[in-house]
Amino acid sequence: MKHLKQFLLMAMLLFTLAPMQVSAKENIDVKEILWGHIKDSYEWHITQVGDYPVVINLPVIVHTTTGWHVFSSGEFSEERDANGDRPGPYNLVIKNGDAQNNPNKIVEKVNGEEVLPLDISITKTTCVLFIDAIILLLCVLIPARWCKKHKIDDPAPKGFVGLMHMFIMSVYDDVIKATLGKEAPKYAPWLLTCFFFIFVANIMGIVPFPPGGGNLTGNIACTAFFGVTTFLITNFTGTKEYWKEIFWPEVPTWLKVPVPLMPFIELFGIFTKPLALIIRLFANMMAGHAIALAFAAIIFIMFNISEDAITNYLAGTGMTVVSVAMSVFMMLLEVLVSYIQALVFTMLSAVFISLAHVKSHEAEPEVVK
């Protein structure tokens, strides 16, 4: 009851102060709100107090025509030039997001021309990647440390270690071992890494403040890495029978020569499998973040729907209740989706690997009665 009263008090305070933040009619750029969270950037935007953005400036590391330069992204001006770019030191600018060439990228202006430097900066996505990797290591090393200090016949662990043991064994027994059988221990390290990294990245993407808030699995480069790695493991460990079924499948000969129709279809299928993994994870996670942010953006839109402050207050307050309720529902749904997407990616990766380990078709011995 005590916590319920605190929640209601905070909600009433929010409804009271919200109109004060948007008393004047402003243009709300919903597109910028959505893409500002989803796309990568050289700074970590947290919130905005009045006209002053609250950001975490990240290190910029570039190699230009004048050599290597390391500095803070805060040295780029918040004010844009005539082209909509943000000027910075060493003749560098951050291109406008609507630019046709290199949008939101750092370019160097040399003699009136734009040159793309070697850029290894620690961007928002890179920073989130490091944070998620550290969390994943802790989730694995803490249970591993417990296992090293205890014997097999000791009582089962409790708390966080027990939860991770249950989690790991559930994925291993129900997904990896059930699909790969005796070869499960060989591929379990990669498949478990896929599951837990994707799950941790998805959960951290739901957290609305640092160190969360980064949409890592909504970045096509991240999902492409997992998909391409699974593709390489699948095909480099495939058996001779697997490649035989691709280039000389057991179909009528006229489907193989003179026009290699079936071999072409089978070969094409090799590349569509990892592509399906990449697109499925990327699209689902990006869409989930976009929908949740859209519900939050409705609040700001309704507080600026009219020139009349009272109308804005009534419309914004009413929509805040609906939007917060829908946002909470979407966040809870995102937790479920985070688990499902990690599980589906791991399961399909295991299936693709198992399909590449086709055994030779040997005649089964007859049973003598």
Cis check: omega of the bond before 258, within 30 degrees of 0: yes
Reduced to 3 states (helix: H, G, I; strand: E, B; else coil), residue 186 is helix
Q: Is the dihedral of CA 279, 204, 344, 230 positive or negative?
A: positive
Identify the burial level of 194 via C-beta atoms within 10 angstroms of its C-beta, where 0-12 means exposed, 13-18 middle and 19 or more buried.
buried
Read off the pTM.
Answer: 0.80
What pLDDT score was predicted for residue 312? Answer: 64
Q: Is 111 left (phi over 0), alpha (psi -120 to 50) or beta?
A: left
pLDDT of res. 368: 46
Residue 110 is predicted with a pLDDT of 87
Q: Contact 42/123 with Cβ under 8 angstroms?
A: yes
Pair 248, 366: CB distance under 8 Å: no
Domain boundaries, the chain: 59-121, 124-355
What's residue 224's pLDDT?
92
Q: Are 193 and 255 in contact (CB under 8 A)?
A: no
Q: What is the pLDDT of residue 153?
A: 83
Q: What is the pLDDT of residue 316?
A: 65
Centre a 10 Å sphere on the Cβ of residue 279 and count the other Cβ atoms it contains.
14
- The string of DSSP letters for 111-176 reads TTEEE--EE----HHHHHHHHHHHHHHHHHHHHHHHHHHS-TTSPPP-HHHHHHHHHHHHHIIIII
pLDDT by residue, tens only, the chain of 369 residues: 555 445 444 544 444 444 444 444 455 565 666 666 667 888 887 777 767 778 888 999 999 988 999 999 889 888 888 888 888 998 899 888 777 788 888 999 888 788 889 999 998 888 889 999 999 999 889 988 998 888 888 888 888 888 898 889 999 999 999 999 899 999 999 999 999 999 999 888 887 777 777 778 888 888 999 999 999 999 999 888 888 888 888 888 888 888 888 888 888 989 999 999 999 888 888 877 777 777 667 766 666 666 666 666 666 676 677 777 777 777 788 888 889 999 999 999 999 999 998 776 554 454 444
Taking only Cα atoms into account, the Rg of the chain, rounded to an integer number of angstroms, comes to: 27
